[in-house]
Structure 1
């Protein structure tokens, strides 16, 4: 079973959002191996699995259930035994939806959920590059749904 098959078993349908799909394993330092050359092993595994890279990266998802009064966020952590991060929060503990704007060389627009006693939980990646319309619309809809204010930083 390759990693994408395993991801399909673990994730809800339609929730896997892969990143870095164009990444390819290489051997830039010409790693020495007593066995089969490392570059040949990479090529062999790529043919065998149909994948270009051993590590599959993707984002998580957020599930808001107003009926039960909970928010579940799913994130992939660093690859290790317990890499699935699945915190749950009570909707009543959500203080606000926060938008962070940073302009300049390291510009980004990030959406956060401010949780009482937990701090800010990111809802978007820093590299998503939302348009101004999107970064205004998403938090407005979410704040309306959760009945919380919007803060802009």
Structure 2
């Protein structure tokens, strides 16, 4: 029975890069906000700098704007970390003849995203590899009606050999052909 079912865990937003950027943006934004407030209040709120000497207009206003923007972005990333947006699993069940793709979304009525497909409707496993400024290396479930459902999470691109090994393993498990998209 174990040989007829395969689970692939998907890491969501709880990745090192998101922890790093939330920390970096929070403290950077807080520093900018305090520097802008210091230039307005003429009280030094930062122990490691002297922003009192800055003119409130335009430097202080710009620093408050960038600080607020950076703090807002860091709070957004922190909330996605808490909710673990994008995490889930892919289940391939040969006995039930189904493929289930489960992901967590934003809280609300549709927080749990569940896609179910019959193995009879699956044509192939596809790989898309594109290099350049924004490299993309993804595995897709190619359906007979020409839809392509992504199976890999959004993340730093894995090595080409890892993607190819994972895709070929999945195609072999499901007894499907492998195609290049």
Tell me, yes or no, whether TM beats 0.5.
Answer: yes
In the other structure, the counterpart of 1:64 is: 92
Structure 1: runs of 5 or more not aligned = 1-13, 31-41, 43-51
**Structure 1 segments (4+ residues) deviating >6 Å:** none
Q: 1:116 aligns with which of 144, 150, 164?
A: 144
Q: 2:161 aligns with which of 99, 123, 133?
A: 133
Q: What per-residue deviation string (whole Å, max 9, x for no partner) do you get for residues 111-153 of structure 1?
A: 1001233711101124341112111111111111111111112
In the other structure, the counterpart of 2:135 is: 107
| Larger helix fraction of residues | 2
In the other structure, the counterpart of 1:9 is: none
Identify which of structures 1 and 2 has the higher relative contact order when contacts are C-alpha pairs closer than 8 Å and 6+ apart. Answer: 2
Which has the larger displacement, 93-102 or 18-27?
Answer: 18-27
Would you say the 8 A contact 2:10–2:152 is kept in 1? no
Would you say the 8 A contact 1:95–1:148 is kept in 2? yes
Query: RMSD value over aligned CA atoms?
Result: 3.0
Structure 2: runs of 5 or more not aligned = 1-7, 34-70, 72-76
Equivalent residue runs for 1:8-87 within 5 Å = 15=9, 17=11, 18-19=14-15, 20-22=18-20, 23-24=22-23, 26=26, 28=29, 30=33, 53-56=78-81, 57=84, 58-87=86-115
Q: What per-residue deviation string (whole Å, max 9, x for no partner) do you get for residues 29-75 of structure 1?
A: 85xxxxxxxxxxx9xxxxxxxxx933323422101111111111111
Which has the larger displacement, 91-100 or 77-86?
Answer: 77-86
Change (3 A) 1:149 1:15: closer
**Cα distance in 1 for residues equivalent to 2:10 and 2:119:** 24
Radius of gyration: which is bigger? 2
